[in-house]
Amino acid sequence: MRKIRMITVGAMARQFAAALVFLAAVSCPAGDGCQPVVISPASAKDVAVVANAANPLCDISAVELRKMLAGERRFWRGNVQIKLALRQAGVHEHDLTIAAVVKTSNSDFDELWRARVFRGEASEGPRVITSDAALLQYVTETPGALSFTPGRNLRSGLKVLKVDGKLPGDNGYLLKVTAK
């Protein structure tokens, strides 16, 4: 006779929360001055600002983040080039990030980058990546990488950056997803 293992919704939620705590704790390497990041299941839909784990920053202002997205700031501290990677337009985290941080439309954002490349202010625009897995792999493996992903996608090898001192799930967080 086969035994069927039943998991209650509460047990699944506890397992999910434990997995997020583990992932978030390893997303902020010890010794870099950052505090471990704990993302709750309630904030799993919020869009996290993620960087390569070797990045020296723990916190970034909304103003600096806008400058990075708009191509006005091209280097991290330590003279490491910012490698901006985004999902394609139409994906929720892309659209929310462009609207909330740059405060423009997707078409205006694309035009801004085409103009920067045309004027020689940038060699290329942001890298567009078509899957969550490929985006996370790129950020994990690329020094200087900066991107945006839903909290549910967090894993080791990423550093979650606070924006104006706030993390996904905090009240007033810049990239908070509100229920519809």
CATH number at residue 27: 3.40.190.10
- Three-state DSSP at 99 gives helix
Distance CA 36, CA 57 (A): 13
Indicate whether 79 pLDDT > 60.
yes
In a domain, 135, yes or no: yes
- Three-state DSSP at 56 gives coil
Sign, CA dihedral 140-142-145-147, equals negative
In a domain, 149, yes or no: yes
Indicate whether 9 pLDDT > 80.
no
Domain count, the chain: 1
Q: What is the mean pLDDT of residues 130-137?
A: 95
% of residues, the chain, pLDDT over 90: 64
Measured CA to CA in angstroms, residue 95 lies from 104, 135, 136, 173 at distances of 10, 16, 18, 16
In a domain, 178, yes or no: no
Distance CA 83, CA 109 (A): 17
In a domain, 2, yes or no: no
For strands 127-129 and 47-52, give the pairing.
Answer: unpaired
In a domain, 177, yes or no: no
Distance CA 54, CA 162 (A): 15
For the chain, the average pLDDT equals: 83
In a domain, 180, yes or no: no
Q: Which range marks the domain in which residue 17 is found?
A: 9-163
Q: Which residues have a Cβ under 8 Å from the Cβ of 109 and sit 6 or more positions away?
A: 69, 98, 102
Convert the pLDDT of each residue in 99-118 to its tens digit.
Answer: 999 999 999 999 999 999 99
In a domain, 153, yes or no: yes
Per-residue confidence band for 147, with pLDDT thresholds at 50, 70 and 90: very high
Per-residue confidence band for 6, with pLDDT thresholds at 50, 70 and 90: very low
In a domain, 95, yes or no: yes
Structure letter (DSSP) for residue 141: H
pTM (two decimals): 0.80
